[in-house]
Amino acid sequence: MANKSVTFKIKRQANPNAQSHWEEFELPYKPGMNVISALMEIAANPVTREGKATTPVTYDSNCLEEICGSCAMVINGKARMACSALVDNFEQPIRLEPLSKFPLVRDLAVDRSVLFENLKAVKAWVPIDGTYDLGSGPRMTMEEQEAAYPLSHCISCCCCMEVCPQFNESTGFVGAATISQVRLFNSHPTGAALKRERLAALMGDGGIQECGYAQNCVEICPKEIPLTRSISQVGGEVMKQAVGDLFRK
């Protein structure tokens, strides 16, 4: 019996201004192989299927267990995490492309800093006054903890933004991940100190009203975060605050 192999078709681009092109690679199959382990093998021996020497494919990865969020790419047309993408589950050749809505760095690596800028804009943190011992914080009920916990699973992979029809330059939409983090930090008893500022940051251009509720985000999220529930809940709070502000004037 012929030895089993795995084939990849990878979109290459040396820098943001270079022309992109495709290269094919063929690797011996190994049980449990995933896309990142295949990319590591290609890096160790960067030779195309036709036997031509090439450069190692650039990609981001770190944790290799779907926690750091860095390895998001488009695999056979769908945004997902490469470290948990078992080759057994894909039709071959397995096509690898960079996320399309983020500035390209090289090959499969993109610059996802827009998400981190958005998180800064909505103050996605719990404010504490210094690093000294502040004593125990306010208690959260079990129900509050259970509602917050799934939201804390966000790995900042940006898959939800990649598939969102509203996440583009013309809207400047912040995207579902940022909105869901607003829900998370506003639901925290100490984090709620910044609730008004977070909701205010989601008003106006690029804010929550840009969402068309197409629900692509919730379907693609690798952590199954209830994104549309977050959007509905935060949307209601933004609206309430906006109307309240209007009457206060």
- Our finding on whether 81 is near ligand SF4 (CB under 6 A) is no
d(CA 38, CA 28): 9
- Our finding on whether 83 is near ligand SF4 (CB under 6 A) is no
Tokens of 167: 């996440």
- Our finding on whether 176 is near ligand SF4 (CB under 6 A) is yes
HSE, CB side, 13 Å, CA atoms: give it for residue 117: 8
Q: Are strands 94-97 and 109-110 parallel, antiparallel or unpaired?
A: unpaired
- We find the least distance from the C-beta atom of residue 66 to ligand FES, in angstroms, to be 5
Q: Token match 């681009």: residue?
A: 13
Determine phi and psi for 175, rounding to 5 degrees.
95, 165
Mark 143-172 with x for binding to ligand SF4 (rule: CB under 6 A) and - for no binding: -----------xxxxxxx---xxx------
How many residues in the shown chain lie near ligand SF4 by CB under 6 A?
Answer: 28
Could you say which of 75, 83, 119, 177 contacts ligand SF4 (CB under 6 A)? 177
218-223 long-range Cβ contacts below 8 angstroms, 24+ apart: 218/160, 218/176, 219/163, 220/78, 220/79, 220/80, 220/159, 220/160, 220/162, 220/163, 221/159, 221/160, 221/176, 222/66, 222/80, 222/81, 222/84, 222/155, 222/157, 222/159, 223/150, 223/153, 223/154, 223/155
Mark 188-217 with x for binding to ligand SF4 (rule: CB under 6 A) and - for no binding: -----------------------xxxxxxx
- Taking phi over 0 as left and psi of -120 to 50 as alpha, with beta for the rest, 132 belongs to beta
Task: Give CA angle at 176 (163, 12), nearest 5°.
Answer: 35
The residue (of 72 and 174) whose beta carbon lies closer to ligand FES is: 72
- The site partner of 225 among ligand FES, ligand SF4, none (C-beta below 5 to 8 Å per kind) is ligand SF4
Q: Token match 């192989």: residue?
A: 33
How many residues in the shown chain lie near ligand FES by CB under 6 A?
Answer: 12
- We find the least distance from the C-beta atom of residue 35 to ligand FES, in angstroms, to be 9
HSE, CB side, 13 Å, CA atoms: give it for residue 27: 25
Mark 34-73 with x for binding to ligand FES (rule: CB under 6 A) and - for no binding: ---------------------------xxxx-xxxxxx--
Q: How crowded is residue 139: how many other Cβ atoms within 10 Å of its Cβ?
A: 8
Could you say which of 10, 42, 83, 122 contacts ligand FES (CB under 6 A)? 83
- We find the least distance from the C-beta atom of residue 61 to ligand FES, in angstroms, to be 4
- Our finding on whether 180 is near ligand SF4 (CB under 6 A) is yes
- Our finding on whether 108 is near ligand FES (CB under 6 A) is no
Site residues, ligand SF4 (CB under 6 A):
154-160, 164-166, 175-177, 180, 211-217, 221-223, 225, 227-228, 231
Site residues, ligand FES (CB under 6 A):
61-64, 66-71, 81, 83
